[in-house]
Each structure stands twice: as structure tokens, then as C-alpha cells.
Amino acid sequence: MSRAEHANDIRLISPAARDALQTWLNHQRSLKGAAENTITAYQGDVADFLAFITAFKAESQGLAALAQITITDMRAWMARTRGPDVGPRSMARKLSAVKAFYRWLASREGFEPTAVLSTRAPKYQKKLPRPLAVDAAKALIDCVEIQSDRPWVSARDVAVLTLLWGCGLRISEALALTGRDAPLPESLRIFGKGGKERMVPVLPAAREAVENYSRLCPYPKTPDAPLFRAIRGGPLSARSIAKVMADARMQLGLPATATPHAMRHSFATHLLDAGGDLRAIQELLGHASLSTTQAYTAVDTARLMEVYNRAHPKAG
């Protein structure tokens, strides 16, 4: 949805519903610790729903009217929302946001939100993580090391990718490091999604890569400045690292799934391959739910079955 379309949605919503939405968003931000990206997504999804209901009912939807939403209303909204740009996964996310808002609104206003909460999300196949093989991850880092004609830039890119693979950091977490974090300690305090804190062990290779970059970087290292700098000295962007990896994977003939996030997936998968405990891997990744981490066991099983089907005498 464009900003203009979103602004139109907001104007369609009644003042009471708009205030309720803002109060709920504040609740999600302050009490639930939701990240700003999550808040933005929630706001767009719920505002879109409220605006649709207003247009569908052809009258202002105050809080009393919102309490009277029916299954028919929900189906109409889902039918209008689904389309080429909104697949089953996106629709499920939007419905989840609306349900969370209604669960909160119902407890606050004292009505029964059955019609909303009983609405089923469309079924979709969950995508499994796409990790890289160990040799492919190594090859990517080796390739990145020789891509730039500026030694400090090459060292920077190697340091970032080594942190993603060696520590399982999200790209946003790696780029959030400041001069205060270097030289890296043996354990790094990371603030992940929703401000959730975790301690991550730092491998010697990652410490050495960051130290090498720090030594070559032409910009002064100050406690509050970004550790990883762009060419002109500003903060390094995730888009820049994605482009570096895109160039490297093209040279190596790797698939489009070889992204910065795939390095984090590889960290988890390689730990699991080596006998790592799923709970420990959950903590290292900063997953709120073990079910998220369990996706890696599905990857492991899928790979095992490939080997079985290829190698077992009866498979032919």
C-alpha cells in the first residue's frame, strides 16, 4: 500500500476507532516491546481493515459498530484484500494483526469477538530456511574479500559476513554495532527484535575479522558512531551488503537464495549438523518461540532424505 492510500484509509476511520487503534499500537510498543517495523505493519493492516469495514457498511464505524462485525464482513474483507500482490502468507499476517487488535479491543470494551477470532487464515506452505553449504559459505566470504579495490571495504564486508555466519546475527544486528563494541569481546550483548537481549559467543575468526577491518578503516572509531561505515563515512546499509553478496553469488554460480540472511540460516543449520542443542540454538538466534527454530530440523530431515533417496540400494 502506498503512503497516499494509507493516508486515505486513516481518514475513512472514525475518530473513536482511530484513537483505539493508536492506543493499541502504543500498548504493543511500550508493554509488548514490539519493534517499529512491526508497529508500522500492524498500523497499515488494521487501518486497511477498519477503512474497508467503513466503506463496506457505508457508515461510520464507531466502537459499538465494530463490536457487531460478522463472519460475512470478515469474508468480504478477505475477498477484497486477496489478490496478485497479497498471497496467502501476507493475508494470514494481516488477519493475525486484525485478530490481535480485536482481542485487545474486546477485552477493553467488553464484547465477544467470536466472528473475528474464528475467521480462518488461508492455508499456505511454510518456506523452509535456505542455508548454504559450509564450502559455499566459505567461498562467498573468500570472493567478497577480493571484490573491492579498497582494502578497508573488503575487510569490512568480510567482517560483516563473518559475524552473520559465525555468530548468527541478523544483518540489522550486525549493522547496529557501534565503536563501543570493538574490539569484540568473547561474548557480545545483542538487542534483537522487540529489544530482546541475548548474549552471543564470538568466535576468534569473527573477532579477528572485525579487528582487521577496524585497523584499516579510514574513519575514526568513536563510541557512538556505527562500527561499519559506508564509503563516505556514514552508516553502512543492509542494501549495500545485499549487493555485495549478489555480486559474489553471481561469480560463484550460487542461487538467489544466497542472501545475507542465508548466512544466519547457515549458522543455525551448521550448528545443528554438529549436534547442537535446539534450545541453545534458539537462544543464540534470539527466537521468541522454539517452533521458529524447529524449522531447521525440517531442513536437516529434508537433506537427510535426499541423501537416503540417492544412496539407499532400494531407492533406485
Q: Which positions are catalytic?
A: 170, 193, 261, 264, 287, 296
CA–CA distance, 229 with 175 (Å, rounded to integer):
9
Residue 192 phi/psi, 5° resolution? Answer: -95, -150
What is the identity of the amino acid at 135? D
Give the DSSP letter of residue 127.
P
Q: Cα separations (Å) of 31 from 11, 21, 23, 28?
A: 27, 15, 11, 6
Among the listed residues 53, 61, 44, 41, the one whose alpha carbon sits nearest the alpha carbon of residue 4: 44
CA–CA distance, 124 with 78 (Å, rounded to integer):
15
User: What is the number of other CB atoms lying within 10 angstroms of the CB of residue 32?
Assistant: 11
CB 105 within 8 A of CB 24: yes
What is the identity of the amino acid at 60? S
CA–CA distance, 116 with 100 (Å, rounded to integer):
10
